[in-house]
A and B are shown apart, each in its own frame.
Chain A
């Protein structure tokens, strides 16, 4: 995965907090702290969106068996696309 640089402006207090955790060995660097925080936030927001879908969806269009069949069908198609067989 390629990465890009982002400049983030933080308060002295926030830096002090991060530096303390780095010193204590919880994170290897300030960058490690921020990257972990971003990843955790992405996880939480994604999860929230998935649960929003689960709570608000209409009656399932698929039966359980239809869902399994659709997964099987998708697997076949992806395999053919990737491996050409």
Chain B
């Protein structure tokens, strides 16, 4: 089972004391699914944490992600063939690289806390799950009752 993990899953895991994102990452550590990310993910995490003067943490989080078992990182060259495909189905064009990575990684699920994205028309083509939904429905564990299921 290939699962696309959006950038917010990693940053919420780091910033929130309790989250379903943490449950999901523990499952990834235990090889319960194959995590898929985009090369954008590394850039977004790095930029976000560095903008908050958390450069060291950024480094550790990137190595943590890179060393998750069997992780698939979809690279820039793999996006070219899409040529703005699906752009009419999302509001924010900057979400597209993550959508392309989902397809390129042949994912079964796309885990995100981005409710704006999951309510767009693209939801008809992408199997979105909130972290709580993924933890409970797919991993079969009891999730935390957190805001937006984070």
Contacts and interface: CB of A to CB of B under 8 A. Distances in A.
Chain B binds chain A: yes
B49 to A, nearest CB: 9
B113 interface: yes
B44 A74 contact: yes
A31 interface: no
B67 interface: yes
A46 B64 contact: yes
A74 B117 CA distance: 16
Contact of B60 (A40, A46, A74): A46
Given A50-B60, A76-B94, A42 B43 contact: no
B64 A47 contact: yes
Contacts of A70: 48, 51-52
B12 interface: yes
Contacts of A67: 11-12, 15
Given A50-B57, A60-B15, A68-B113, A43 B51 contact: no
Contacts of A75: 7, 40, 44, 92, 94-95
Contacts of A80: 94
Given A67-B11, A71-B7, A43 B94 contact: no
Main secondary structure of the interface of A (DSSP, over half): helix
Nearest to A43: B67
A74 B48 contact: yes
Contact of A64 (B14, B48, B147): B147
A82 interface: yes
A78 B44 contact: yes
A72 to B, nearest CB: 8
B44 A50 contact: no
Contacts of A71: 7-8, 11, 44, 48
Contacts of A50: 13-14, 57, 60-61, 64
13 contacts: A42-B66, A49-B57, A60-B15, A64-B16, A64-B150, A67-B15, A68-B113, A68-B114, A71-B7, A74-B7, A74-B51, A78-B94, A81-B43
Interface of A: 39-40, 42-43, 45-47, 49-50, 53-54, 60-62, 64, 67-68, 70-72, 74-82, 85
